[in-house]
Amino acid sequence: MLGCQATWCQTRPAMKLTLTHGRGNILLYHGRKSAREEKIVPKPELEFFRPDNIPWQPVTGSPKVGMGGPGVVEKILSRDEKSGAVTKLLKIEAGVETAEQIAHDYWEEVWILEGEITDLGKNQTFTAGMYACRPPGMVHGPYRVSKGCLELEFTYYKL
């Protein structure tokens, strides 16, 4: 899994989860946040909830924004308007194929929850359970989705 390592540690009155991989750390928190930690993860505090009532929205894609168009919808789970950080589900219907490569100006982490997606530029198919961490400017795509795909995505800008 790309050398990822997850560790739990106790800090003040909160539990902290740090995911470490070759390109740096991602900090995810549960509980109270210090002022320093609040700047790292500026999204709203949300306890467990069922996102069933959050609507799926169509996605307009572009080479700088990412995959979109007919058959591509997203469900925004959390967003920070100030930093641009987003956590979302991206659902791609079977039969979707994009024509352009994508390279955006933000970090993107993707975990395929269901289905599969083929990167036509790399000539590789990625399946459920696989993870990608893409720094700004990393070229990926175009894509073909033959069986449908559901992804959990985290996007953010370097602080």
pLDDT tier at 50 (50, 70, 90 boundaries)? very high
Burial 131-155 (b: 16+ CB within 10 A, else e): ebbbeeeeebbbbbbeebbebebbb
Chain segment 97-153, per-residue pLDDT in tens: 999 999 999 999 999 999 999 999 999 999 999 999 999 999 999 999 999 999 999
Asked whether 112 and 92 are in contact (CB, 8 A), the reply is no
pLDDT tier at 41 (50, 70, 90 boundaries)? low
Q: What CATH superfamily is the domain 55-156?
A: Jelly Rolls (2.60.120.10)
pLDDT tier at 24 (50, 70, 90 boundaries)? very low
Strand partners, 75: 89
Q: Report the C-alpha dihedral over residues 33, 37, 42, 46, rounded to 10 degrees.
A: -30
Distance of alpha carbon 43 from alpha carbon 135, whole angstroms: 20
- 46, exposed or middle or buried, with CB in 10 Å at 0-12, 13-18, 19+? exposed
Location of each CATH 2.60.120.10 domain in the chain: 55-156
pLDDT at site 158: 82
